Amino acid sequence: MSSVDFLILISLIPVAPVFVTWWLPWERWLPRALPKAFLGSYVLYAAFAAWHFKLLWWVVLLLALYGAIVLALGLREKLNTDDSPRTG
């Protein structure tokens, strides 16, 4: 394992709990607690890491699609809250 491989894996540690516990019924709050733009960016990075480590093409594609969708939802949510008129 090269130092570049090690650096790619180390940077995935903060998002590991989301990927490990997504299927547990008592841990469904974890992905919802993170901002969508942050989570989407991390999932896109995970798609890059999956591609780098030569995982199956459909794993890379699923990660990239999920990351892009979550990132787009997060950006839309951010833009909608920033453009809302301020009253009061």
Chunk the chain into consecutive blocks of 10 residues (it has 88) and report each block's average pLDDT, rounded to whole numbers.
Answer: 91 82 74 84 94 95 95 90 61
The pLDDT, as a whole number, for residue 77 is 87
User: Is there a domain that residue 66 lies in?
Assistant: yes
Instruction: With respect to residue 88, please indicate whether it lies within any of the assigned structural domains.
Output: no
Owning domain of residue 45? 3-83
Q: Is the residue at 78 inside a domain?
A: yes
Look at residue 8 and tell me if it is in a domain.
yes
Residue 34 lies in a domain: yes
**CA 21 vs CA 15, 18, 60, 61: distances in Å:** 10, 6, 20, 21
**In total, how many domains does the chain have?**
1
Q: Which amino acid is at 49?
A: A
In a domain, 63, yes or no: yes
